[in-house]
Amino acid sequence: MTLHRTRSIAPVAVLCALVATLVAGCSFGSGTSSPSSASSSTQASVRSAAPVTGGLAGYYRQKLQWTRCRDADSCAQLRVPLDYAKPTGRSITLSVLKVPATDPGERIGSMVVNPGGPGESGVDFAAAATGVYGAALRKVYDVVGFDPRGVGASTPVECVSDKQLDTVIESNPDPRTKAQLAYSDGLLRRLAAGCLRNDSGLVRHVSTVEVARDVDILRAAMGDRKLTYFGASYGTAIGAAYADLFPTRVARMVLDGALDPTSSTLDVNLVQAHGFEVALRSYVGACVARGSCFLGPTVDAGVRRIGRFLQGLDDKPMTTSSGRTLSAGDAVYGVWAPLYDKASWPFLDTALQRAFDGDASLLLTLADAYLHRTPDGHFRDNAFQVFNAVTCLDHDDGIPSSQVSRYLPRFEKDSPTFGAIFAYSLAVCDIWPVHSGVTPKPVHAAGSPPIVVVGTTRDPATPLVWAQSLARQLARGVLITRVGDGHTGYHRGSTCVDDAVEGYLVTGAIPKDGLVCR
């Protein structure tokens, strides 16, 4: 069973650290129960933002108390209401981190950032600002990241033990028989039951719209009249929701590796399945172009070999030198992780060659990097526990697992390697016990300044068609297209993209709509 998070931080540095003991050197590049209902605030349209009155006023009046953390950074806690429909009720806390502008005399203000997920830590993302953002941005902006509600160091969603989560991840990623479907459905139900048991209120209030409302309280608590925001991957959904709620409070906004707010669960999975297939074919194509490719003489042959290898693990998982087992579920993540950044492709070369020779240790290490899992099987955060809680509040249009088979031919046509895996994901939000009633709707952000949307032609996780769609929906959307591989477009080796994004954020210079960069 595979959970399709959209992550955005370039994994190459993480992979390099994790595989240092397995691969000599790291010179591959430096790219950087019964169904329950959610509250009325979750079901509300993103265009129904309440004015800052009554119970919300106290939240908006708070000022962040910064303390020194992580060497030269500053940390604070932000208080927000659990339920915006009942702001005088329970409150929760969000963890916030600020990396100060490198030139205080030239400082413009704060730039709030989010790396994706759902479930990625914005605190960690901001702390890594030196490797994520160019010097021009860091000179004039305090880079501010926050862990969204339910995530990481904020009030967290906690569901199951590491061992139980591993059982979910390592299960058959494309169940087909009645017995397999019943087993996988049961795993999801137990995961959800754990979330509800530990904090049923929080699980009902981790939607993207609620996170966007939190961002506005963060803006006010920092003393900023308007918001400058950089969202990557799922972080673009937060930004788009914010712009639709509070269009006149946007200063400058970049949405890189965009999601499409109009996409149904069926659309999301079909498009992403095809995106990963395209990325895999690009990876294999590079191998073939070098000559004597270990995968085969043609792209089709190489892709088929990887597919057969993954399918074989369904029946016979591989034992690694550490004694841990590589399942089909793990192996899929191991293949996906390097597809997010072309600089990581050599890791995948080595991992697959060794796995074909009987040593799956490096492929498992790559899976661990994607899963935020340590070599001893411990998860470093709750990213994979919060994913379904957020996704299913935002997309309450799941399809029963008993009906998935009717969609399989379409998925397998669009993605012969990964289609069946994505098809089963159609059932996740049908099984999930918290139902919001929310279905996809366009965002327009009428009244906002220009918003820059960035898409990449062979992005596996957030394919270009989503960026194109979001840019069209926004009243003043400006699209930049990067021609290339990997996830997201900024700081991925294109000076054209970097100059356009940084010029916009630093000086307000609006890029030409439809700009194409290589």
CB within 8 Å of 252: residues ≥ 6 apart: 228, 229, 449, 504, 505, 508
Q: Which amino acid is at 499?
A: D
Locate tokens 């700009």: which residue? 515
Q: Two tokens at 387?
A: 């994913």
DSSP state of 105: G
Alpha-carbon gap, residue 122 to 200, rounded angstroms = 24
C-alpha dist (Å) from residue 54 to 42, 68, 151, 223? 19, 33, 27, 20
Other beta carbons within 10 angstroms of residue 514's beta carbon come to 11
Q: Is 233 an annotated catalytic residue?
A: yes
Q: Two tokens at 95?
A: 């963890």
Phi, psi of 375 (to 5 degrees): -60, -20
Alpha-carbon gap, residue 285 to 289, rounded angstroms = 6
Q: Which amino acid is at 263?
A: S
Q: Is 376 an annotated catalytic residue?
A: no
Q: Which of 4, 205, 372, 487 is catalytic?
A: 487
Go through the chain and tell me how many residues it has. 518
Sheet holding 73-81, edge to edge: 67-69, 73-81, 91-99, 141-146, 109-114, 227-232, 250-256, 451-458, 477-485, 515-517
Q: Is 459 an annotated catalytic residue?
A: yes
Q: What is the 3-state secondary structure (H, E, C) of 23-51?
A: CCCCCCCCCCCCCEECCHHHHCCCCCCCC
Note whether 212 and 46 are within 8 A (CB). Answer: yes
Handedness of CA 231, 235, 237, 242 (dihedral sign): negative
Q: Two tokens at 72?
A: 């030269």
Q: Which of 110, 171, 233, 469 is catalytic?
A: 233
Note whether 343 and 15 are within 8 A (CB). Answer: no
Catalytic residues: 233, 459, 487
